[in-house]
Amino acid sequence: MERINRIFRFNNKIAFNLRLGLPILFLCVIGLIALNSTSLDTLGQHSVFYKQCIWILCGLLVFVVIQFLRNQVFYEFSYIFYVVLLLLIGITLFMPAIKNSTRWILIGSYQFQPSEFGKVIIILSLARFIADYKETLSDHQLIISSIIISIFPLLLIFKQPDYGTGLMYLLPVLPMLYWSGVKTKNILLYLFPFVSMITAMHLMSYTLWMILLFIILLILQFKAVIIIFNFIINIIFGLLNAYIWNNWLNEYHRDRIWDFIQNLLNPDNTDHMGIGYQAFQSKVAIGSGGFFGKGVGEGTQSYLRFLPIKDSDFILSVISEEMGLFLILIIILVFLAFLYVTINYAQQLFNKFYSLSCIGFSSILFFHIIINMSMVTGLFPVIGLPFPFISYGGSFMVSCFIMIAIINNIVHNDL
* 3 state DSSP class of 112: strand
Binding pattern to other proteins, positions 24-53, x when CB under 8 A? -------------xx-xxx-x---------
How far CA 62 is from CA of 59, 121, 125, 404, in Å, comes to 5, 15, 20, 10
Q: State the CB neighbour count (10 A cutoff) for residue 373.
A: 17
In one-letter notation, the amino acid at residue 155 is L
* 3 state DSSP class of 398: helix
Using CB under 8 A as the binding rule, whether residue 287 contacts other proteins is answered as yes
Q: Rounded to the nearest whole angstrom, what is the least distance from the CB of residue 324 to other proteins in the complex?
A: 7
- Residue of 303, 314, 389, 401 interacting with other proteins (CB under 8 A): 303
Subset of 250-279 contacting other proteins (CB under 8 A): 271-274
Calpha distance 48→35 (Å, rounded):
7
DSSP at 14 = -
Which residues make Cβ contacts (< 8 Å) with residue 355, sequence separation at least 6? 179, 346, 347, 349
Stretch that binds other proteins, among 62-70, 190-198, 285-293, 397-405 (CB under 8 A): 285-293
Calpha distance 258→242 (Å, rounded):
13
Q: Rounded to the nearest whole angstrom, what is the least distance from the CB of residue 13 to other proteins in the complex?
A: 24
| Residue environment code for 245-254, b if the CB has 16+ CB neighbours within 10 A, otherwise e | beeeeeeebe
Using CB under 8 A as the binding rule, whether residue 340 contacts other proteins is answered as yes
Question: Which pairs with CB-CB distance under 8 Å and at least 24 residues apart come from 273-280?
Answer: 277/308, 278/307, 278/308, 278/309, 278/314, 278/382, 279/375, 279/378, 279/382, 280/378
Q: Rounded to the nearest whole angstrom, what is the least distance from the CB of residue 339 to other proteins in the complex?
A: 6
Q: Please identify, using beta-carbon distances, which residue of 37 and 199 lies nearer to other proteins.
A: 37
Using CB under 8 A as the binding rule, whether residue 295 contacts other proteins is answered as no
Stretch that binds other proteins, among 51-59, 111-119, 205-213, 284-292 (CB under 8 A): 284-292
* 3 state DSSP class of 272: coil
Q: How many residues bind other proteins (CB under 8 A)?
A: 53
Q: Rounded to the nearest whole angstrom, what is the least distance from the CB of residue 291 to other proteins in the complex?
A: 6
Q: Rounded to the nearest whole angstrom, what is the least distance from the CB of residue 159 to other proteins in the complex?
A: 24
Q: Rounded to the nearest whole angstrom, what is the least distance from the CB of residue 73 to other proteins in the complex?
A: 25
Using CB under 8 A as the binding rule, whether residue 320 contacts other proteins is answered as yes
Subset of 151-190 contacting other proteins (CB under 8 A): 175, 178-179, 181
Q: Please identify, using beta-carbon distances, which residue of 363 and 408 lies nearer to other proteins.
A: 363
End-to-end alpha-carbon separation of the chain, Å?
28
Sites of contact with other proteins (CB under 8 A): 37-38, 40-42, 44, 175, 178-179, 181, 271-274, 281, 283-291, 297, 300-301, 303, 305-306, 320-321, 324-325, 328-329, 332, 336, 339-340, 343-344, 346-347, 355, 359, 366, 370, 373-374, 377-379
